[in-house]
Amino acid sequence: MVGHRVSFAGGTSRGVVLDLIRTRGPISRVALAELTGLTQATMSTVVRQLLDEGLILETGRGESTGGKPPVMVDIDPYSRFAVGVQLGRESITYVAIDLSGAIVGRTRTPGVGSTEPAEMVGRLAAEIDRTLAGLDIAKRSVLGVGVVAPGPLDLAHGAILRSPHLSAWSNVPIRDMLSTALGLPVLLDNDATAAAIGDFWSGRLDGVTAHATVYMGTGIGAGILIDGIVFRGASSNAGELGQVLAAADDGGPVVLEDVAAPSAVVERARSTASCARWGLTGLDEFDDFRRIALAAAHGDAEAGALIEFSAGHLAAGVLTLANLFDLDSITLAGPGFGVAGPTYVTAISRRLETDLFARMRHGVRVRLSPDVANAAAIGGAALVMQHELAPRTMGLSSLVAR
């Protein structure tokens, strides 16, 4: 049995067929026609187009069901590539993926810090060129580059508006600047949204209706997918979970990032007598956060209490998010979960099990991303693939090519 027909909402027949081949191949034209409802003649035309473009190939014959064995088709994973770039204050991650979504290369360099945008764009372009050359990937087979960064962003103009975590990047049109420097199409998106789309592209969200990827780097955000479609909001800045109100120690209102983000954990740690024991340097807040998380993982009770405090506040924020969107799936991604991720998964799962409004109707699956530290970079590359080749509507402006 082939199964339920797929929806064409938000996509073309070409895109739907290609995505089906990517996720279910090797597959026959007959099975594709049954899944899509397209006629055999239309399906033959679409498949021939994809073969001519070099995106798929014939892989042999399948099992006979009484007649002539069908010819099977599958994607050619090395026919197209995409690059994802995850901008961060502490580090920059570059990931290249093939058409199947498999990672074919990755590298990490020092972060943006206080580097001026023009100089930084030159560094980004040079590193991408080096990465492609090292992987022996020709630029003509690269669909584009997906740059992901913390918000707020102006996606229509491909600009970082103002980032509390990237101080020099105010109203910087990075999409056009990098496209000009590289000679490749470029798109820009939020890091949390990109991580969520990476989850979708990987196929890990099959059967999920309402999903959020909670991303914790220097700050905290969430990418939201409803039936596989990105929920972006009026200005494409939805999901800023770190900006929801939380309770401070004195009972007053603060935003969630002020009590749960890595920098908040470090600030609280510096007021304790154990600061020296954990080796905190005061030079890099994110590195100090990792030191605290490592101490907690090794059984340090005081460090564990700091992480638990953060996890408890984040769980409260995620509960609000889950209630608002009636979520049935949550992924935790980002370098903030690299060491202490299981503690956050446990805290969030417990809070949802006891307090979710719809808990009598359904549960919420909470898990860590399989590639927690690189999820946004992988998602940036997946954004390019999704936008160019697949049927779902991502709500992106067109790629800018120079």
3-state secondary structure 81-119: EEEEEECCCCEEEEEEEECCCCEEEEEEEECCCCCCHHH
**pLDDT tens by residue, 311-329:** 999 999 999 999 999 999 9
Q: How far is CA 97 from the centre of its chain?
A: 13
Domains and CATH numbers, the chain: 13-75 (1.10.10.10), 81-197+376-389 (3.30.420.40), 207-369 (3.30.420.40)
Per the document, the length of the chain is 402
Q: Quick check: 137 and 96 in contact, CB under 8 A?
A: yes
Query: Poorest-confidence range of 62-66, 106-110, 139-143, 217-221?
Result: 62-66
Which is it for strands 210-216 and 329-333: parallel, antiparallel or unpaired? Answer: parallel
Q: What is the pTM of this model?
A: 0.86
pLDDT number for residue 11: 54
Question: Is the pLDDT score of 310 beyond 50?
Answer: yes
Q: Quick check: 182 and 125 in contact, CB under 8 A?
A: yes
**pLDDT tens by residue, 294-304:** 999 999 999 99
Question: Is the pLDDT score of 399 beyond 70?
Answer: no
Helices 13-24 and 375-389: crossing angle in degrees, nearest 10, is 130
pLDDT number for residue 139: 94
- Cβ neighbors of 103 (< 8 A, separation 6 or more) are 95, 96, 97, 371, 378
Q: 368: which strand partners?
A: 332
**What is the average pLDDT score of the chain?**
88
The rounded distance, in Å, linking the Cα atoms of 326 and 356 is: 9
Q: Quick check: 196 and 211 in contact, CB under 8 A?
A: yes
- Cβ neighbors of 260 (< 8 A, separation 6 or more) are 220, 242, 246, 310, 311, 313, 314, 317
DSSP string, 242-281: GGSEEE-TTS-EEETHHHHSHHHHHHHHTTSTTTTTTT--
Q: Which of 224, 91, 245, 87 is nearest to 151 (CA)?
A: 87
**pLDDT tens by residue, 333-345:** 999 999 999 999 9
Which is it for strands 56-61 and 27-28: parallel, antiparallel or unpaired? Answer: unpaired
**pLDDT tens by residue, 226-275:** 988 889 999 888 999 999 988 777 677 799 999 999 999 999 999 887 78
